[in-house]
């Protein structure tokens, strides 16, 4: 899978440029993002696309030294299923 990336979003497009899946993670501050939403088109459900998006996000967070606060339900479950990625979670009371 090939993803498009920018500092607050990772997404996948089809050959026509239509967005098929994305994870949005706006900045909370200079060192922390909020994983706000993970969306996958129905045509791609069950193919591991959401997990691949979160894996890609984890790599981006590590490379940039940022931490994350998962808010969307998929991201919360993904981090629960991947305790080896817990170091990417921000310690916050917000």
What domain count does the chain have? 1
- pLDDT (tens digit per residue) in 3-47: 999 999 999 999 999 999 999 999 999 999 999 999 999 999 999
Is 64 domain-assigned? yes
Cβ–Cβ < 8 Å for 3, 11: yes
* Phi, psi values for residue 10, rounded to 5°: -130, 135
Cβ–Cβ < 8 Å for 74, 68: no
Would strands 32-35 and 67-70 be described as parallel, antiparallel, or unpaired? parallel
Q: At 93, is the pLDDT very low, low, confident or very high (cuts 50, 70, 90)?
A: low
Is 94 domain-assigned? no
Is 30 domain-assigned? yes
Q: Is the pTM of this model over 0.85?
A: yes
Taking the C-alpha atoms of residue 54 and residue 25, their distance in angstroms, rounded to an integer, is 11
H runs (alpha helix) in the chain = 49-64, 73-81
């Amino acid at each position: 899978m090939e993803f498009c990336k920018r500092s607050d979003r990772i997404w996948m497009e089809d050959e026509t440029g239509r967005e098929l899946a994305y994870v949005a993670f706006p900045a909370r501050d200079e060192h922390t993002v909020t994983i706000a939403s993970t969306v996958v088109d129905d045509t791609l459900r069950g193919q591991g696309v959401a997990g691949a998006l979160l894996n890609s996000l984890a790599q981006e967070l590590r490379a940039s030294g940022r931490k994350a606060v998962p808010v969307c339900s998929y991201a919360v479950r993904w981090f629960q299923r991947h305790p080896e990625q817990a170091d990417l979670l921000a310690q916050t009371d917000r």
